Amino acid sequence: MASSPEKPHHHLPPLFATAAPPPTPSSHPNLTPQPTTPDFLSHLLHRLPPSLSPTLPTRRSQLSSSTSTTTTTTAPIIPLFAPTPSLHSSSLLSASTELGFFHLTHHRIPAHLPLSAESAALSLFSLPLHRKQLLFPSNWPLGHDVDDDDDGATESFCLDSSISTESTDELGFDALREFSREMEKLGMNILEELCSAVGFHSPAPNNLCPLMWVSDGKSKPGRVYPYALALHYQIRSEKQSLFSDSGWVSVMGQADSVFVTLGDIAQVWSNGKLKKVRGRPFPSSSDDIINPHSITMSLPITLPVESTIYPLLPDLIDNEENEDAVDSTNNSIRDKRLFDSFSFEDYAWRVYNERLLPKDPLVRYRVR
């Protein structure tokens, strides 16, 4: 049984010290939790030395798709057509507000690259344990991790998206590095168009933190980490299981597509307009064509740990204001603010250790 990783008290650094971590967003100050906020206790615990800091329980029973009612569906397909690829805002908005996931086809990721990246990533799992720990030391959430619970162990590597170090050059990681770069570029484009379609400004790229998450092909969720959106390349047409706002969903595969899921950060940014997927999709246990030697390669776009999460839609009204408040510029009814501001680090640490539980972890941050 794996022990809980030690919670850091610093910025989220890259796994390899070749690039500086993204700076703290400057457009909104971090809020110090007050005694009436749900994170007050966690804020106090942050002040303890690491050796005295308690950890959250990690052995809770994880919510399993095998013991829950699962709906099978086909995800919307949004093509990016040449010569001027762009997302169709209406299709993007519909898929994002009704489901929270979709397939992206006709993208510009070179056809040979995913298989080459998969081959490089597979070599990680064949390394001796001491080499994994040496090359990929645990630095939450980065590094090598074996998540061992009652349903068995899952192994994963969480890497900074640059994947640049002399230590990995000997492993032939050029293809994985290039693949990560192409996925990141596509993800930033999707996020920008999504923000435009919903109606708020996209955060600056240097206020975002892309990661490359490589996991074994086990049919279980594994670790959960918050993200705005995540890209999951589907080399083969494998059915995927995911936990959405409507419960467990089994999504039909689409070979050579990028499966896009929206996360909890995007839902807060949109003030609840967007649906979300909790955690990353994983191969469905009911799919007879699962390749036992396959892995999953996901690129979640998340935030630096020192960030504060809050709705980004303009002109929201607080609980104390009149619910029928009217925008003086266009006489339209203003939306009511649904989420309080909260610490990303506290939230990320909580969901990482509590795993997938039936209760939505965002409920505690909803405005009452």
pLDDT tens by residue, 262-299: 999 999 999 999 999 998 888 886 554 545 557 889 99
Q: Which residues contact 178 (CB under 8 A, 6 or more apart)?
A: 113, 117
- Write down the mean pLDDT value for the chain: 77
**What's the pLDDT score for residue 200?**
87
- The pTM of the full predicted model, rounded to 2 decimals, is 0.79
Count of beta carbons in the 10 Å neighbourhood of residue 355 = 20
pLDDT tens by residue, 220-255: 777 889 999 999 999 988 889 999 998 899 999 899
Mean local confidence (pLDDT), 85-97:
79
Cα torsion through 159, 165, 168, 170, rounded to 10: 170
**70, 138, 191, 204, 226 from 229: Cα distances, Å:** 23, 24, 7, 15, 9
Q: Percentage of the chain with pLDDT > 70?
A: 68
pLDDT tens by residue, 176-210: 999 999 999 999 999 998 998 898 888 988 899 99
pLDDT tens by residue, 98-116: 999 999 998 989 989 999 9
**84, 105, 133, 180, 233 from 214: Cα distances, Å:** 31, 22, 15, 11, 11
Asked if 177 and 113 touch (Cβ cutoff 8 Å), the reply is: no
User: By mean pLDDT, which of 83-87, 133-137, 142-146, 159-163 is the weakest?
Assistant: 83-87
